[in-house]
Structure 1
Amino acid sequence: MRATIDLASVDGTMLAQVGGKAANLGRLIQAGFPVPCGVVVTVDAYDGFLAEHGLTARIEEVLRTVDFDREDSIEEAARDIKEMFLEPGDKLSADILAALAGVDEEGLWAVRSSAVAEDLESASFAGQQDTFLNVPTKDVPMHVCRCWASYWNARAIAYRERAGVPQLQAGIAVVVQRMVDARTSGILFTSDPVGGRKDRLIIESSWGLGESIASGLVSPDRFVCDKVRRRVVESTINRKATAIYLSRDGSRSVPVAERDQTRPSLTNDEVKELMRWGRRLEEHFGSPQDVEFALEGDDIFILQSRPVTTLSEDGGTLWTRGYGDEYWADVTSPPLLLRPRRAADGVRQS
């Protein structure tokens, strides 16, 4: 059993071992995209944990009692199953810590689910499992166990049932990636998901971690780009009074200096560089992409890239997975990220 794999060694053929998210990130690394380093705790490690503790039969027994038409029945089953995932064990902990030591001994980590059915075009599983950010190295094994437990969140159990995904067949891996100490973060759509224009690329960004956007603390800056002419055709610079930054004590919210509140969170050159990465991602995957990014110093990192769940041709509804599990642990609602902008919200420049 191989408990961990370096993320840089993962490719698209390893879905059954590393899950959808890790396989996708591995494909990005193999294609030369700038993705934060990390390791994957494999599906084999999860299956081994189930076998070692005799959990498969116990979980099956709980699931047989579930009435999937009753929310309280699903929630009760979720509580019973999640209590089975308490400690990772000494051997697994040692394997994980040894793998991380080969990547970055002093770093903070993002610990995220990578279920085998995740990040597939046929269904959006983002937000069904839990994400843990700013995790010190010594605490990573316990958070891997908590990630496994979140595979059995009530919403995840219900979603698999509705999607026809067998509860115990697929399994879950966990991605452990170095946290980017972001000065600016955001989301990029390689086609306009609301207007339906495939010649437009949309970027939204703000200071610090993307959590400030996802939590609604700020209205992000917005850049509308012409993909063909490779230039910005419209920008809206909003007042960004608060930012969330990486800290060993957890994410910290700090006031933004007055002079920076209405300053663009991306320079023209950075917008152009993001436009270039966005075009490459769309070409690589062959479809419009929903991309999360962060800037650390002068370096751009691609945090995730997934197909846009719905690309409207008529200005209809978009259900995006942006920020769905990178910055928070709930399902994204479209009005949060793509609510209509008014001129009063910021300084619009065409």
Structure 2
Amino acid sequence: MLVLLDQTRLPGEETELVCTDAPALVQAIRTLAVRGAPLLGIAGAYGVALAAARGFDVDEAADALANARPTAVNLAYGVRRAHAAYRDAVTAGADATDAARVALAAARALHQEDAEASRRMAAHGLALLDELLPGGGHRVLTHCNTGALVSGGEGTAFAVALAAHRVGRLRRLWVDETRPLLQGARLTAYEAARNGMAYTLLTDNAAGSLFAGGEVDAVLIGADRIAADGSVANKVGSYPLAVLARYHHVPFIVVAPVTTVDPETPDGASIEVEQRGGHEVTEVTVPFVPVTGVEAGGGIPVAPLGTQAYNPAFDVTPPELVTAIVTEEGVVSPVTREGLAELCARSRQVTIS
């Protein structure tokens, strides 16, 4: 079985969700009980190992897991990696038990690599912040959730802010609430509080006034997919921040592992953006607070019955609005197709060696 922290219950409850088969994990991924690009890759790999250990159809499980959410490229990457290890073992003559062990070892290796990548991204990101903003006292705006809840380590963009906090150079973490599912309010604020960081929560539409008032020194976000040309798909609301940052001459920095870069996706227009249910917009979800007549996970209507809603899970920021992409292998700035290709090639050489 695979045991997850149910992120839909945070911050009110730290509840474990037990997945005993791949379909249960697919459901957990689709309902956002487990989320965040790097962690989805890890979960997908463990899901393949789970299917193998339970004696289910591993090919079928891998296909279902890889397609559970279309935008996050790490999910398919993690699934493919564990699946390839399993198939290679079977081809080499391993029995079902040994092949399952090989898939599990692949998942654990990915988990460990992601934790190390998180540490290195934090170091590279902090060095970049100090270079762009000498003197410390960084006031950083972030969107969605990019901490330990999305990673095998301490996260991506949040890990950079946390590193700045630990050396006394984070003055304020501005946390976008991130509508409609409030991952910033529920999850990033939860992680910031647990780490003793100075943070302030704001509605997404208040970010402009912060920029106008000169209260933001840098924007730090994660990514669910980075196209070959440097276009970045991230939680919806990221693109408007990039536009604001450019107008106000504020660095807009994307922090993501190399596995989030997808050379097979040529540009931003080629990124499939997940469209989620309209009820996430027309209702306020109640993840944990008991409300009379509403079950946990249910919703309170905030729009007239029958209202149509536009609810993309992500938007795409073009590379010309991105100051830098920070990975475990280093920083790409300016963001160009050639720079990303060189970084990915260097990463493959490091992995092979």
Question: What TM-score results when the alignment is normalised by the length of structure 2?
Answer: 0.24
Structure number having the greater helix percentage: 2
Per chain length, whose mean CA-contact separation is higher, i.e. which structure has more relative contact order (CA < 8 Å, sep 6+)?
A: 1
